[in-house]
Amino acid sequence: MTEMLASYAAGSWYTAPDEGTVVVDAATGDPVARVSTTGLDTRAMVDHARLVGGPGLRRLTFQARAAALKELATYLDANKAAYHELSLATGATRRDSTGDIDGGIGTTFVFSSRGRRELPDGFLLTDGDVEPIGKEGTFVGQHVYTSLRGVVLQVNAFNFPVWGMLEKLAPAVLAGVPTIVKPATQTAYLTAAVMRDIIASGALPEGAVQFLCGSAGDVLDHLGGEDVVAFTGSATTAAVLRGNDAVTARAARFNAETDSLNCSILGPDATAGTPEFDLYIKEVSREITTKAGQRCTCIRRAMVPESIVDDVIAGLRTRLDKVVVGNPRNETVTMGALVSLHQRDEVRDAVTGLGRAAETVYGDPMWVEPVDADPERGAFMAPVVLLATGDRPEPHEIEAFGPVTTLIPYGAGADLGALAARGGGSLVGSIVSYDPDFVREAVSGAAPYHGRLLVLDRDCAAESTGHGTPMPQLVHGGPGRAGGGEELGGMRAVRHFMQRTALEGSPAVIAALVGGS
């Protein structure tokens, strides 16, 4: 029978006794693993984190935690070939998997080195300068951060089974707070493989990380004011978790990264033949084909001047014609499968919904001829480009979480900030233009609705990391529909797992306390 994935709870591996959920290969439909948390003692996991993991981490200074992260990242890096093989079952191509696996390990290295450079060899972080309060200078204040005494519960989405875990784990380790990782069931086997190595590496103190492999069960019932729920996934699930008593009554911290209808705006100056036009075509095509469009940052709304819509469609057609859809194990394939048949059907439904407001100008959501694969068993879909035909709300509201984007034409003098804002708040937007006045106007209009904005032009293109890639140094998250949360952003991410306290007292007392950090 297919292997049942084990959870790592309170210091040992736990395998559920029932059949569980069978998870299948996205491209072949063959069973990969079974997942279940039946019988798992989540109370014991939370207690173990608080009583063993937290104290173990907090015995280490920031510098020692940063060193532990480096040891961990080095161990995972040496073992990553196995993760890459397994990742093919998620439908990802080898190139897609680099963003997830190498991206996750790279993020851990970045947190380690930034921690070693920027954090003290102590246990307490100061925030800002000493604030003089008393007129005579005998009474001052100083903000400090200390480690929360609870646990970080990660609840992760299916599309980044490695990066999604490590980008949250690394800052939590630096903060001195233990973590329970709950992966999405659909791709839990890849997270499980990495988790087995995390435990085997011995890089982190016992209890610093545990693994809840399957349904979350009643784990939130045990969380409260010292804990953090770090969620990534759909807005619907975020709303359910945000309404849990752990958050509403007991004030556990809640951070959400949810779906978002990210836009990319092409400037009127970027007509066919300009470098920016070519960059735009490349960026939009790459976004909808990377991970078969299953990135939360993918360009869903491509806003283009109405005068050059036809050129944009022609440019996208030329590029997308070269995409080879199929089994990612075949070397010629450039776009793999969606994660499951269920997900493919959801995307098709979303395209039908978008069809009320747009016509299809490229691709057919119902037809594809995948290389080396059975289209009935694998979750394949062709890239699809839609063109909004009026001013209806659907393109700004419906997320087709697959290889789909909608072109939204705009006229001269359009308020692009307002157009971008119709997405209700996004993780990322991009502006592709070489006209500084246009860029300034677009940025000032769009920035309040975005966690990150990329201004792409000929000068930065060679080094640009692209519209869809969150960097550990910069904020990932966004307002409104994007969840209202914030992750990454360098050492700010560490502070998200710490308590900020205003210390008040005499300058000598404050200096003694802070000096000892």
Interface residue list for ligand NAP (CB under 6 A): 155-159, 182, 184-186, 215-216, 232-234, 237, 240-241, 257-259, 296, 399, 401, 427
Minimum separation from the CB atom of position 275 to ligand NAP (A): 30
Minimum separation from the CB atom of position 428 to ligand NAP (A): 10
b/e string for 427-462 if b means 16 or more Cβ within 10 A? bbbbbbbbbeebbebbbebbeebbbbbbbbbeeebe
Cβ proximity to ligand NAP, 237 vs 360, nearer residue: 237
Alpha-carbon distance of 154 to 314, in angstroms, equals 43
Dihedral sign from CA coordinates of 276, 476, 501, 61: negative
Question: Catalytic pick from 167, 213, 226, 257?
Answer: 257
Minimum separation from the CB atom of position 412 to ligand NAP (A): 33
Minimum separation from the CB atom of position 485 to ligand NAP (A): 8
Do strands 498-505 and 140-147 pair parallel, antiparallel, or not at all (unpaired)? antiparallel
Please name the residues in contact with 413: beta carbons below 8 A apart, sequence gap of 6 or more.
none
Cβ proximity to ligand NAP, 241 vs 279, nearer residue: 241
Cβ proximity to ligand NAP, 110 vs 281, nearer residue: 110
Alpha-carbon distance of 275 to 219, in angstroms, equals 52
DSSP secondary structure string for all residues of 366-398: T----BTS-TTTS-----EEEEE-SS-SHHHH-
Cβ proximity to ligand NAP, 216 vs 471, nearer residue: 216
Question: Catalytic pick from 213, 263, 296, 298?
Answer: 296
Cβ proximity to ligand NAP, 57 vs 212, nearer residue: 212
Minimum separation from the CB atom of position 465 to ligand NAP (A): 16
257 counts as catalytic: yes
Nearest 5°: the CA angle 424, 428, 429 is: 85
Dihedral sign from CA coordinates of 343, 346, 350, 351: positive
Cβ proximity to ligand NAP, 254 vs 401, nearer residue: 401
Minimum separation from the CB atom of position 155 to ligand NAP (A): 5
Cβ proximity to ligand NAP, 331 vs 345, nearer residue: 345
Question: SS3 for 319?
Answer: helix
Q: Please give the DSSP secondary-structure letter assigned to residue 447.
A: G
Dihedral sign from CA coordinates of 495, 499, 504, 505: negative
CB 509 within 8 A of CB 459: no
Alpha-carbon distance of 61 to 124, in angstroms, equals 9
CB 224 within 8 A of CB 150: yes
Minimum separation from the CB atom of position 434 to ligand NAP (A): 30
Active site residues: 257, 296
